[in-house]
Chains A and B, each alone.
Chain A
């Protein structure tokens, strides 16, 4: 009996490890499939927890025999990760089915990912162990499950900046032991281990192929090739190439940039303000591809880049800005840190801050577009310092993202100039307490690049903002509203 109790402890420990890893795999992969706005992240996380609830609810309602059969079927489905759900998502996209099918897919997989693990604790806690009271037994069982969860957390940490081909074989190996301890059927363990071994051998190929299929069918990327697919500490980082050789950077399934856009983006956000301000010290926040650095560098005495995500840096140096292009830049330095933290702790004052960060679709990204953040930036700027921000869309007279970001800038800085670039398909803002350049100088600098560029002078900017509420830490409703709008338009808009 004691031996059986010890086996239960080992089993629950491994279940804890697997639960931790499966939570990571499911949330990252489904967020990427459905595109990573905060609304989607919450939805997928909620689906995972709903799966746990269903597991707890059903755990004692099945006979041992039925439970064993169900567990066996489910656990073998884990060997189809991540291909099966990606292929199904591809088929939903190909067949142009309603968005409800994606939700159905997500909730179905939540059952496979999490419900099955949730059934173990209640079942094992219900087994008789004569020497222990029910509470003592539970205490031990739950402790080992929590310890396993913590170990899984460490394994997930080891998988940063690697593909699923690192973590899935570990996960399958642990699952093979779980199968053995839970079912005591040698043939099942052997079959599971054998399939896992075969699947592991071709994992990299299938991971890249199914990723490419997703981008071809869900993102309409022609002849997509996966150049990179890794999980960073913060998001899934993917670099895709289409049939024309154009490269795209996706973060959690959201297009961050493509190589052509990058030229326009860097021109307006980095080159123009650097050329006009000739900064002694320039700071670039974000810009994981580091592609802004060579634009700012010739005009600055010192350039500092700050990027939080080393996974994006890896993608950038491998596919967008080769290391060789940067190795000769001896007045440039790179710090891996959160922009907020860097600004709060830097002793330096900057003449130019380039904010090259994604649109405010998650809470963390939105915080970097708020009044509070711009106040922080201002505190690290010289009197005539300029902050350049990309506005994720054209500035219009409404309460949408570009207007709200400009409203936040206007609350902090005395002068805000906006450039509406049709070519870049978005606006850019230059803000300062005293802009060191005029509208005419901006016009002269940009004329050759884009003749019809519309420039909104600091005097005219307020007319665009009468309906706009400045983004602030206490007012991030945009993340919810915009995220929900994008999500429903993408999956539930029939037009």
Chain B
């Protein structure tokens, strides 16, 4: 049972880092207006809602899609910050990245059945992510925004591999 808290915790950390990285990307490159915040949060929320009802989104695809969308938006806002489509694509990107934020709970719940613990660990990761993002961005700036989502996705993959290794029968 020790495996599930770590996975939920790192996922929460990944979610908050990814969400804040999306937000700061748009704030640096396009605008700090409230609309930016509304677009990212609203799209992420909508993505999570859709993700809850999806039948086929495995964890690798979910995390991978989030990363793909993030780096897609990164490239877009860096090179075409004022195209009429940039905000719309960013909203779509944040929404698609949010799919796993919904599906993740279904995925873990179907295995562990403990809603309270699941949310507790995920929320703790999210909380730590808020602090790490603040410290990371103020100290490292765009390097943090570029590398942190990738590093955390890698950590999730490692954690998953470790769980699989330690879940083999007879171990």
A, B co-complexed: yes
Q: Which A residues have a C-beta under 8 Å from some C-beta of B?
A: 38, 42, 45-46, 49-50, 52-53, 56-57, 59-60, 118, 121-122, 125-126, 134-135, 138-139, 142-143, 146-147, 149-150, 153, 157, 233-234, 308, 337-338, 340-341, 344-345, 363-364, 367, 472-480
Binds A, one of B60-68, B88-96, B116-124, B161-169: B116-124
Residue among B31, B81, B117, B124 with the highest chain A CB neighbour number at 10 A = B31
Q: Which B residues have a C-beta under 8 Å from some C-beta of A?
A: 24, 27-28, 30-34, 38, 41-42, 45-46, 48-49, 52-53, 81-82, 102, 105-106, 109-110, 113, 115-117, 119-120, 123-124, 126-127, 130-131, 134-135, 137-143
CB-contact partner of B105 in A118, A138, A472, under 8 A: A138
Q: Would you call B32 and A340 a contact (CB within 8 A)?
A: yes
Q: Would you call B140 and A153 a contact (CB within 8 A)?
A: no
A338 with B139, Cβ < 8 A, contacts A56-B119, A125-B115, A143-B52 known = no
List residues of chain B with CB within 8 A of the CB of A59: 116
List residues of chain A with CB within 8 A of the CB of B119: 52, 56, 118, 121-122
List residues of chain B with CB within 8 A of the CB of A146: 45, 48-49, 52, 102
CA distance A46 to B134 in the complex (A): 11
CA distance A126 to B135 in the complex (A): 38
List residues of chain B with CB within 8 A of the CB of A234: 34
List residues of chain A with CB within 8 A of the CB of B110: 135
Q: Would you call A150 and B138 a contact (CB within 8 A)?
A: no
Least distance between B88 CB and chain A CB atoms (Å): 16
Least distance between B164 CB and chain A CB atoms (Å): 22
List residues of chain A with CB within 8 A of the CB of B115: 121-122, 125-126, 138
Least CB separation from B135: chain A residue: A480
CB-contact partner of B32 in A52, A121, A364, under 8 A: A364
List residues of chain A with CB within 8 A of the CB of B53: 139, 143
20 sampled A-B residue pairs with Cβ under 8 A: A45-B130, A46-B127, A57-B120, A118-B123, A122-B115, A122-B119, A134-B113, A138-B115, A139-B52, A139-B53, A139-B106, A146-B102, A149-B45, A150-B46, A153-B42, A153-B45, A340-B32, A367-B27, A474-B141, A475-B141
List residues of chain A with CB within 8 A of the CB of B143: 474
Q: Would you call A147 and B116 a contact (CB within 8 A)?
A: no
List residues of chain B with CB within 8 A of the CB of A135: 106, 109-110
CA distance A42 to B126 in the complex (A): 13
